[in-house]
Amino acid sequence: MLRETFLFLRHLINEDRPGAKCFGANYSFLNQHLATPNGIKDSVSPEHGHEFRKIQFANTQRGGLPGQGGVLAVSANGLEASPVVRGVWTLENILAMPLSPPLSPPPDGVPAIEPDVRDATSIHD
C-alpha cells in the first residue's frame, strides 16, 4: 500500500501535475495483490503479479489519495471503513487543516460506537 502512494505521488511530481490531482485522479499504481481485493479485474494480470502498473479507473471515486489502500487502512477500525474518520484524517494529514474549533468530547454516559462484528470471521468480512 505504501508503494502505491509513493508511485502515485512521484508520478504527480515528475509529470508536474496539479495538486488537485491528489484528490481527483482517475488512476493509481497497483499490482495484482492490491487490485484483486478491490474488484479491479483484468487490469493487472497474474504474469505481472508483483509489478506495479498505472491503472486507469472509469471514474475518479477510486483514484487519488483518499481512495488508496494505505489511506483507507489508516482511517478504518480494522473491520469497516469510516468516511468521516477518513475525511478528518485527510484534513489533518494531507491538507494540514485541523478541525477548528476542536471537537468537544461526547457528553458523559455516551458510549463509543462499536463496530458490528457479528458473523465476522476475519477483518475482511
Average pLDDT on 98-118 reads 75
Is residue 101 assigned to a domain? no
* Number of domain units in the chain: 1
Is residue 114 assigned to a domain? no
Is residue 33 assigned to a domain? yes
pLDDT in tens, 17-66: 998 888 888 888 988 888 766 666 655 555 666 889 888 887 767 778 88
Contacts 24+ apart (CB under 8 A), 70-79: 70/1, 70/2, 70/4, 70/5, 71/5, 73/1, 77/115, 78/115, 78/123, 79/115, 79/117, 79/120, 79/123, 79/125
Burial class for 19, CB neighbours closer than 10 Å (0-12, 13-18, 19+): exposed
Average pLDDT on 7-14 reads 94
pLDDT averaged over every residue in the chain: 79
